[in-house]
Amino acid sequence: MTRLTNCTWIGIFLAILLLVCMPASAASTEVTVIKYANDATTVLDQETVDIPWMETNLPVYGNGETHYYFQGPTFDPGNLWDPAEEVNVLSRDYGAVKGTDVRDLCNLVGGMNAGEYVTIKATDNFAKSFDYNDVYTPDPNTMRMVLAWYNGEEGSEGQGIGYPPDFYTGMRLFFFADTSTNPWGYHVFGNWDMHENLAENRWHYYYDGTFWPSSSGLSVKYVNRVLIYSDDPPPPPPISADFTANVTSGLATLTIQFTDTSTGGPTAWQWNFGDGTSNSTLQNPVHTFQKAGGYTISLTVSNAQGSDGETKAGFIKASYRLNCGAPPSTYTDTSGLLWLKDKKYTTGGYGYVTAGKTAKTTTAIANTLDDYLYQYWRYNTNADLKYDFSVTNGNYQVTLKFVEPNYNDNRRVFNILIEGITKASSYRIYDQAGGRYKAKDEVYTATVSDGILNVHLQKLAGSNNPSGRNNPLLCAVEVRPV
């Protein structure tokens, strides 16, 4: 059997003694005051102050010499409340303290109103609650609520001298009462004071099988929170602008239903659709975009609390898709995209500028699932072929669709210009497609600064070849913003 030496026993004894004497919870050196809305969750205001700040900036109560007392249970059913404050008082001398009125702390966050209550809470979450009258209109002779942050002299219960952490039960809740009741002339907040000043649901009891009133249970130690539960409603959420649209892309003319999804209860709306037309003050407007382009949409919402704006650049993208020649109807391709019938250009619209001629074939077209787009075309004989598209200024992707329907060689040749910039010189559909009746798409980019996108299929200069050399041709064209 292992024998323990005297030194070992002394070490164990000291360790046990340290655990017994150590405070159960940490002293507090600052207090956070929070005012909640009537949902008991929303923070209306909050301040955190430390002891030096309170001592410097708020009135100080107590002098560090005068002792303040509470009262324990009487354990006497015949003298349950002890109005004379004669029983179990001297054991509840909690020292000669200084501190700050709880009311002054509450006022840091807007104070309290009648019908509201405050909870004094400790670092270990022990808490006591008190009503508005207890804090703001107490009996001046019996209960000023003071959060003590200094102890000048020990009382019957050791709690340390000085400021926390030396004052190791601090900060601590006290009730500063006068000396008029008890036989010793002490400042005692007794059980009868608790009975007469606090609502019944605020009384504290010691329980050992019987409920014994004990005002000392109200003296919360290690206080680090003062929590006001107000009747004020939560403030409305901050206004925040946002919106959606039923679609964000499509063919011009494009009609869009906008939906306001702003939060915070806006009461006024100002829309800017980015196309230079009239704006709207409706909450959920419908707007039509007449021309192709990428449109930046802005919404500003406001109410009595303020305003907010949301801008979405290029949110709406309106395009043109045109089946050239003289197709009998519009066409929806295998990707679900709609292609419109060819037409002559008019101001603000789109279409061919040089009419030329149209033709068609029923021959199947290779290299595509959408034969229809290549079975109709517009061409010109020994002359240029031009299309114009009214757009908003910006950047565009232009897709030109070609087929060689007539020749088994590369005699058809022309230049491709977009916005006056040559994209392809001496372009031969036959060579690029790899033969006759084979689809070929060419994709180009262009920047527009004058509101009209020009597609120009140009005959070769100085050439006059009736065999088809200068017969530019186009089956379909797509113009979309990028």
Q: Which CATH architecture has domain 243-318?
A: Sandwich (2.60)
Cβ–Cβ under 8 Å, residues 202 and 134: yes
Residues 114-147 pLDDT 10s: 999 999 999 999 999 999 999 999 998 888 999 9
**Interval 433-439 mean pLDDT:** 98
The answer on pLDDT for 9 being more than 60 is: no
Q: What percent of the chain lies above the pLDDT cut of 70?
A: 93
The answer on pLDDT for 461 being more than 80 is: no
Instruction: Among 13-27, 152-166, 249-263, 455-469, name the one with the lowest average pLDDT.
Output: 13-27
Secondary structure (3-state) at 272: strand
Q: How confident is the model at residue 467 (pLDDT cuts 50, 70, 90)?
A: low
Instruction: Report the topology of domain 24-229.
Output: Sulfite Oxidase; Chain A, domain 2 (3.90.420)
Residues 172-200 pLDDT 10s: 999 999 998 888 999 999 999 999 999 99
pLDDT for the residue numbered 141 = 84
Q: How confident is the model at residue 44 (pLDDT cuts 50, 70, 90)?
A: very high
Q: How confident is the model at residue 14 (pLDDT cuts 50, 70, 90)?
A: very low
Phi first, then psi: what are they for 372, rounded to 5°? -55, -40
The answer on pLDDT for 334 being more than 80 is: yes
What pTM value is reported for the model? 0.68
pLDDT for the residue numbered 367 = 98
pLDDT for the residue numbered 101 = 98
Q: How confident is the model at residue 234 (pLDDT cuts 50, 70, 90)?
A: very high
Whether domain 324-481 has CATH 2.60.120.430: the reply is: yes
pLDDT for the residue numbered 468 = 60
Radius of gyration of the chain (CA): 44
- For every residue of 385-413, DSSP letters joined together read EEEEEEB-SEEEEEEEEE---S-SSS---
Cβ–Cβ under 8 Å, residues 446 and 395: yes
Q: How confident is the model at residue 278 (pLDDT cuts 50, 70, 90)?
A: confident
Domain borders along the chain are 24-229, 243-318, 324-481
